[in-house]
């Protein structure tokens, strides 16, 4: 539909120019005819809003503003032209067409880069709603700032809208941690699916690790450039064997920050649910009542953790807490289980992992791990699974790292740049969400027996 809309606009511009040069146009000033064409283009856009795939969200807002501004400017130009009696030159008309083409393409760039994504079909009986608050950790200074400010952690809750029909403290809580330079909506469809089936989901953000977020003052916080560079360098293997200890130190910094963020979220959500203690929270207008409603539903005896990539690693280590009942690691290397780096090798925590654990790998990583197991390389995930009492692992055929987020459904272009496989994005997302739901239903709701296939 985006291509059709662009085609209509370009044809209108081309037809206008051809009519001007062929003498088919009415003998009126160019400015008057420009006004009519701009009005027709805005009207065409309005008509096409009735078609699926075109709306007034951010993908098409720029085009709407552009068409409206062009109409206003054409109207002003018509009045000025009427007074001056000047005609536009042929070169000016051609330049006007070229400028129009560039402006249309630029305004429609978001529509080409992003899809109209409204989530996936839900299987539960409830309607998910969301609210947001920001946690302030009074015990930690913000290390990415030099002004003495405290660490802040935004928390986004997803829960059933039918809260009045649900008994207090009856719903399990699942806390999600996004990947490096991800954001809180990276697995939005999974949160909504869980909420529709009677869960409260808390998606936490890690400021300066997330693509962007906001602090309590409303200030925009973007990902730290040095963090981004380090992640990309390490992910691409752009380091020598002698630099591996430096890699370990950097990873320790990342995971320690995130573990503290997730621990804070667990502790304060438990306090909010059990004691209605919201002293550490900052609410935006209207969210306080919703947040209190959601907290009232939480059963703090049934808490699950999950995360994607670096967020999965965070969930695994925090999952050793006695008050965590189930953990899902979505394609994350368990760097939080690396306790040291000695003689060129990682030292991995070998304490038994007693929390039920599900590890979901991408296909290439799964088979790479099998080959690594034949060498003397110490792989954290393999060690943790070997010492786990209730752990299962699986992979999705044809899936790569970003297939385990909603990004391929939101922006296939950006997802491909970051790493996607041949698997159908909708099929992958729906299968992943069902797997997540089945796992938590078993270990948080005690419904049925969970058994993951070798692959999906």
Residue 26, pLDDT score: 47
Q: Rounded distance, CA 433 to CA 174, Å?
A: 13
Topology of domain 128-443 in CATH is Rossmann fold (3.40.50)
Q: Rounded distance, CA 113 to CA 410, Å?
A: 9
Residue 32, pLDDT score: 75
Q: What is the pLDDT of residues 383-426, one digit of tens each?
A: 999 999 999 999 999 999 999 999 999 999 999 999 999 999 99
**Ramachandran assignment for 71, one of left (phi > 0), alpha (psi -120 to 50 degrees), beta (any other):** alpha
SS3 43: helix
Q: What is the pLDDT of residues 330-383, one digit of tens each?
A: 999 999 999 999 988 899 999 999 999 999 999 999 999 999 888 888 899 999
Q: Measuring CA to CA, which residue among 63, 227, 65, 67 is closest to residue 143?
A: 227
Q: What is the pLDDT of residues 139-181, one digit of tens each?
A: 999 999 988 899 999 999 999 999 999 999 999 999 999 999 8
Least confident stretch, 23-32, 77-86, 198-207: 23-32
Q: Check if the beta carbon of residue 173 is closer than 8 Å to that of residue 269.
A: yes
Pairing of strands 200-204, 171-177: parallel
The overall average pLDDT reported for the chain is 91
DSSP 134-169: EEEEEEEE-TT-SS-PEEEEEEEEEEES-GGGS-TT
pTM of the model: 0.87
Percent of the chain past pLDDT 90, that is, above it, reads 71
Token readout for 105 is 């393409």
**Dihedral (Cα; 237, 239, 242, 245), 10-degree rounding:** -70
Residue 271, pLDDT score: 97
Domain ranges of the chain: 2-113, 128-443
**Cross-strand partners of 392:** 358
Q: Rounded distance, CA 285 to CA 300, Å?
A: 26
Q: Rounded distance, CA 335 to CA 180, Å?
A: 13
Q: What is the pLDDT of residues 241-288, one digit of tens each?
A: 678 889 999 999 999 999 999 999 999 999 999 999 999 999 987 789
């Amino acid at each position: 539909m985006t291509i059709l809309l662009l085609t209509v606009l370009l044809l209108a511009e081309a037809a206008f120019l051809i009519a001007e040069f062929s003498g088919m146009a009415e003998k009126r000033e160019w400015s008057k005819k420009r006004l009519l064409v701009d009005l027709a283009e805005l009207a065409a856009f309005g008509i096409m809003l009735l078609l699926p795939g075109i709306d007034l969200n951010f993908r098409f807002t720029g085009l709407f503003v552009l068409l409206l501004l062009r109409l206003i400017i054409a109207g002003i130009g018509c009045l000025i032209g009427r007074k001056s009696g000047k005609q536009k030159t042929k070169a000016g008309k051609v330049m006007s067409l070229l400028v129009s083409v560039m402006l249309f393409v630029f305004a429609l760039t978001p529509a080409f880069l992003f899809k109209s994504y409204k989530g996936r079909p839900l299987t539960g009986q409830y309607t998910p709603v969301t609210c947001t608050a920001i946690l302030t950790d009074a015990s930690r200074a913000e290390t990415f700032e030099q002004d003495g400010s405290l660490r802040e952690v935004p928390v986004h809750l997803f829960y059933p809208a039918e809260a009045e029909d649900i008994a207090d403290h009856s719903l399990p809580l699942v806390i999600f941690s996004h990947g490096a330079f991800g954001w809180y909506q990276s697995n939005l469809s999974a949160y909504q699916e869980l909420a529709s089936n009677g869960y409260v989901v808390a998606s936490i953000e890690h400021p300066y690790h997330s693509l962007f977020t906001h602090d309590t003052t409303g200030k925009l916080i973007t990902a730290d450039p040095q963090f981004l560079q380090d992640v990309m360098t390490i992910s691409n293997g752009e380091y020598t064997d002698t630099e591996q200890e430096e890699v370990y130190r950097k990873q320790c910094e990342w995971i320690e920050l995130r573990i503290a963020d997730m621990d804070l979220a667990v502790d304060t959500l438990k306090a909010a649910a059990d004691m209605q203690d919201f002293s550490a929270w900052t609410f935006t207008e209207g969210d306080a009542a919703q947040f209190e409603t959601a907290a009232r539903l939480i059963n703090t005896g049934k808490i699950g953790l999950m995360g994607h990539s670096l967020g999965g690693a965070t969930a695994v280590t925090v999952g050793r807490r006695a008050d965590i009942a189930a953990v899902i690691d979505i394609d994350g290397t368990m760097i939080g289980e690396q306790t040291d780096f000695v003689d060129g090798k990682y030292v991995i925590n070998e304490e038994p992992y007693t929390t039920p654990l599900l590890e979901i790998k991408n296909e290439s990583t799964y088979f790479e791990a099998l080959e690594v197991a034949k060498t003397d390389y110490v792989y954290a995930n393999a060690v943790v699974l070997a010492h786990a009492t209730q752990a299962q692992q699986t992979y999705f055929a044809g899936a790569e790292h970003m297939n385990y987020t909603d990004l391929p459904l939101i922006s296939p272009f950006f997802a491909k740049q970051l790493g996607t496989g041949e698997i159908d994005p909708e099929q992958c997302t729906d299968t992943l969400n069902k797997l997540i739901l089945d796992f938590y239903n078993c270990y948080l709701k005690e419904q049925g027996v969970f058994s993951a296939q070798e692959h999906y």
